[in-house]
Structure 1
Amino acid sequence: MTDHQPVPDAPDVPDVPDVPGTAAAPGSPHLDRRQTGPVTLRGHKVPATTTDQRLLKARQPTDWLHADPWRVMRIQSEFVEGFGTLSELGPAVAVFGSARMGADHPAYAMGVEVGRLLAEAGYAVITGGGPGAMEAANKGAFHADGTSVGLGIELPFETGLNEYVDLGINFRYFFARKVMFLKYSRGFIVLPGGFGTLDELFEAVTLAQTQKVTEFPVVLMGVSYWQGLIDWMRDTVLAAGMISSADLDRIILTDDPHEAVQAIRTYEEPAS
């Protein structure tokens, strides 16, 4: 070719952010875009700063500490801490009962004996770590040189773990704590107690009824205290067809600590 045609000037094109794989073609309505993990942000949705910049910013609001995404991380950390701490605990039994029970209450001595017998039978004793019946069971296990575990919970009337706990974990969330009781216990022994005790009792029998847990004994200690509840469940709930007789049969009622521990051991023994 002898003639050279002039090359036209290139059109003015706005700068496109240099983010790999996100450059837009000239003329696109969304020249400004950002890829944040799996999310694509374009136009006015693109933030002025990156995630790393916001993370490393020295002065920023702290309301994120109370936002739901951060709560998820706290919940996850409670499960990780609980599983990691208790995974090598070995056979264990949870003992429940009222925190309001004084040392002079007849059921307190019953709790001490239950803790002692469980430890002597080779079980770790897991309680809520508080005073009253929980302290009693921990005390019995502690003095029998057994493993005495307390799973505490953050409450407005915080009391801390009792002095007989030699392995303790404190939880913010009731549901994370409940999982630890159920996952690492071979059965429940329930001393007289209030709403918290009833909550644990009925959660256990519900999970057994729905076969979420199997071969899980529940022993109620204190015949005079629990008999009215058993009678109501039999005469009203069972009579109305709301539960089956098998649901009641799995609950063992006794005043004898030896019988309570033997009930746990019976479930542990393989069928002949």
Structure 2
Amino acid sequence: MGNPEAQGPPPEEQRLGPVVRRRQQVKPGTTDQRLLDTVGDSDWVHTDPWRVMRIQSEFVEGFGALAELPSAISVFGSARTRPGDPEYEAGVRLGKGLAEAGFAVITGGGPGAMEAANKGAREAGGISVGLGIELPYEEGLNPHVDIGVNFRYFFVRKTMFVKYAQGFVVLPGGFGTLDELFEALTLVQTRKVTRFPIVLYGSYYWGGLVDWLHNTLVAQGKASGRDLLLFHVTDDVDEAVTLVTKEAGR
């Protein structure tokens, strides 16, 4: 006689584009009705499907703003680096050197080391780009940015740093800087990007991390010794420019 449940009434079903809802998950009304209903609540603007549209729009805006950039290098570093500090001055010289080598300079657009690199690029007549992020304590784009894009989502912003750059130079920085550094290393290690030089400026700052990578990460078999060849460490701004631009094809 077959399955008794199969002989009963079919479950209530609702199709919303590619989504199928059944039984208690069926929503009242139709998509068009909810779109045109001006009396309804506004909670829908905070739902995940709506966030997808915002994410998509951020990608579109970023691609549109940066698509015509010349070859570029992304520079990372601490927002807490103060003007007059040796690291700030190194950032200015780095920005100048990259611009003079024919590269646009992309930073996170904030203060500190980012401002320094943007300032150097602008003073050298290069293209100075800032990719900002919406944060409760962020000051906004620094005044040396020529092309600026503000993002809501870190992962969209991080895509832009890699997509439109031919290499990274990493000045001393905090968690955000480390995040960008290790993402770049992972992308190169897994060959998601190729021909992508990564230069760490300041052996006094990065030396402890490099030692840990060698003595712990590689020593315990969590990474290969050749992975340490994915980046360079230097204390010389001119060498940093030479390394990143040479490997980037200039």
TM-score, normalised relative to structure 2: 0.89
- Establish whether residue 134 from structure 1 lines up as the match of residue 114 from structure 2: yes
Distance of 1:47 and 1:230 partners within structure 2:
55
Q: Could you say which residue in structure 2 is the equivalent of 1:205?
A: 185
Q: Rg: which structure is higher?
A: 1
Going from structure 1 to structure 2, the CA distance change for 1:128 and 1:41 (only over 3 Å counts) comes to: closer
Q: Could you say which residue in structure 1 is the equivalent of 2:235?
A: 255
Alignment of 1:1-272 (within 5 A): 37=17, 49-269=29-249
Instruction: Please give the per-residue CA displacement for 1:39-95, whole angstroms capped at 9, x wherever unaligned.
Output: 788999986644223212222211111111111111111111111111111200000
- Compare the two structures and name the one with the higher helix fraction: 2
TM-score, normalised relative to structure 1: 0.82
Q: Could you say which residue in structure 2 is the equivalent of 1:16?
A: none
The runs of 5 or more residues in structure 2 that have no matched partner are 1-8
Distance of 2:113 and 2:27 partners within structure 1:
56
Distance of 2:229 and 2:216 partners within structure 1:
16
Report the 3-state secondary structure (helix = DSSP H, G, I; strand = E; otherwise coil) of the residue aligned with 2:145: coil
Q: Tell me, yes or no, if the aligned pair for 2:196 and 2:248 is still in contact at 8 Å.
A: no
How far off is 1:221 after superposition? 0.5
Instruction: Please give the per-residue CA displacement for 1:111-165, whole angstroms capped at 9, x wherever unaligned.
Output: 0000001111110100000000000000000111111000000111121000000
Report the 3-state secondary structure (helix = DSSP H, G, I; strand = E; otherwise coil) of the residue aligned with 1:253: strand
Q: Tell me, yes or no, if the aligned pair for 2:189 and 2:230 is still in contact at 8 Å.
A: no
Report the 3-state secondary structure (helix = DSSP H, G, I; strand = E; otherwise coil) of the residue aligned with 1:259: helix
The one-letter amino acid paired with 1:267 is E
Report the 3-state secondary structure (helix = DSSP H, G, I; strand = E; otherwise coil) of the residue aligned with 2:195: coil
Which 4+ residue blocks in structure 1 deviate beyond 3 angstroms?
32-50
Distance of 1:41 and 1:240 partners within structure 2:
49
